[in-house]
Amino acid sequence: MTIKVAVNGALGNMGQTVIRAVFGDPELQLVAAIDIKGDGSDIGTHVGLGELNIPVENDLAAVLARSQPDVLVDFTTPFAVMQNIETALSLKVRPVVGTTGITETDLETIRRWSKQYNTGALIAPNFAIGAVLMMLFAARAAKYLPHVEIIELHHDQKIDAPSGTAMKTAEMILKSRGQVSKPDVEELEKLPGARGGNLENIHIHSVRLPGLVAHQEVIFGGIGQTLTIRHDSIDRTSFMPGVLLAIKEIMQHEDVIYGLENILNL
């Protein structure tokens, strides 16, 4: 069965990469492209594929109702993503979401919508297989080296901080390690924020610079030693195998899956 796919955020860097990946997969059919900047121009001309007879439109609900895709891939913004997810689920379209900024409270809301509309959704802070492995390795290491800090580095157009990957990593570490007492040191933070954000004694530092794509270091400290686990996405194509896998896998589910690790045989 060919899976019909719509892409929201189609004119963004990630959206354009998803368009090319979906178009190149024989099991998938690209049926719609949506973007807040949609002006009716053909998406194929934006991504180097020539005329595809698929206009970039800006009314998500109308496009989904007309094109009736099986899956909506959403790479938009934290300000719009929840409305996009509800719109898709209400129309029985399965969202595959890479937009970050989704909180635990948001996830509970998405689970409620999924149950209400009897339609599955997949939310992933990171679709790169290597990043998923990095998070899993960090969770394993935390059992033995519980003192840790996270440094995440992204391009300067990323809106939210910390990244969804950093937050997910910290949550997995906390679940794995349990409680760690705060060091008995009175810190003097001469510049507010210099020690980064603090999630239950895990400091998270966010870097935003042009030239970066998506990178993260998880640094563990122990007596006389450190351990650094790092992942680098140097091109957005690194996310595409995970996106394509998620599109196909969510067709088998009617619940909410949070994290790509839950559909990988790891």
Predicted confidence (pLDDT) per residue in 92-122, tens digit: 999 999 998 888 899 999 999 999 999 999 9
pLDDT for residue 180 = 67
The mean predicted confidence, pLDDT, of the chain is 94
The values of phi and psi at residue 69, to 5°, are -75, 160
250, pLDDT greater than 80: yes
183, pLDDT greater than 90: no
pLDDT for residue 177 = 85
Listed by start position, the domains of the chain span: 3-123+236-263, 129-233
pLDDT for residue 44 = 96
pLDDT for residue 162 = 94
Rounded mean pLDDT, 199-205: 94
Burial of 221 (0-12, 13-18, 19+ CB in 10 A): middle
Residues shown for the chain: 266
186, pLDDT greater than 90: no
How many percent of the chain have pLDDT more than 90? 86
Two tokens, residue 122: 């997949």
Query: From CA 204, how far away is CA 96, in angstroms rounded?
Result: 26
> What CATH topology corresponds to 3-123+236-263?
Rossmann fold (3.40.50)
pLDDT band at 128 (very low <50, low <70, confident <90, very high): very high
Query: From CA 104, how far away is CA 94, in angstroms rounded?
Result: 20
pLDDT for residue 166 = 95
- Catalytically active residues, by annotation: 154, 158
CATH node for 129-233: 3.30.360.10
Query: From CA 115, how far away is CA 120, in angstroms rounded?
Result: 8
Rounded mean pLDDT, 150-158: 95
Rounded mean pLDDT, 42-53: 95
Residue pair 196/204 in contact by the 8 Å Cβ criterion: yes
